[in-house]
Amino acid sequence: MYAADQLFATLDPTLRKLELADVGTVILADTVGFIRHLPHDLVAAFKATLQETQEADLLLHVVDINDERQQDNMLQVQDVLTEIGADEVPQLIICNKIDHLPELTPRIDYDEQGKPMRVWLSAQTGAGVELVQQALVQRLRPAMVNLSLRIPPSMGKLRGKLYALNSVTAEQPSEDGQMAMQVRMSQVDWQRLCKQVSEEYGDSLQAFVQ
């Protein structure tokens, strides 16, 4: 890991794998934090780093609830997300530092449809941290699809894409040379893959679903 005594010595996001029950493998991308009055020469690089949020299934927006400027900070984040075209990506608000406010306890807030919208916790003490995984499962589980595909030999690139998404749960060659595959992925990834196949091969990916 690279470190230096300078502002944003590296803008590279940190990627980690997380296994969630009933969801499977998810990738957590920890981007750089937001800062007011970002130096002009870092604006382009800062926004470029955040572009990957457009491809996310869910954004975890961590908020310091002990900061009196929390509302302004949240609005600033939303402004940047809108500017880079990621304002429509679903969000889960993580309300951190409840240890500074004794009246608060770890909990999950749900919307009218029973969907987790906020998690209250303390990263410092660990109180409520386990609720994040619980909320992630509830938010991501409904968006998963399980499919059986038969991929012809001519579409080896598609097979590579499926493995790149960590979506292949089983694979077996068939007598006709096709590859029978069991895949599990997010609905967002499936829709994105369908679009890519249509553009690259001129075929509908749905045609390969068994």
What does the H/E/C string look like for 28-65? EEECCCCCCCCCHHHHHHHHHHHHHHHHCCCEEEEEEC
Domain ranges of the chain: 14-142, 143-208
- The CATH superfamily holding the domain 14-142 is P-loop containing nucleotide triphosphate hydrolases (3.40.50.300)
Predicted confidence (pLDDT) per residue in 18-64, tens digit: 888 777 778 787 765 555 555 555 556 666 666 677 778 899 999 99
CATH tag, 143-208: 3.30.70.240
Please write the tens of the pLDDT for every residue from 73-97: 888 888 878 877 788 889 999 999 9
Indicate the average pLDDT of the chain.
Answer: 83
pLDDT of residue 170: 94
Residues 120, 188: Cα–Cα separation, whole Å: 27
| Confidence (pTM) | 0.63
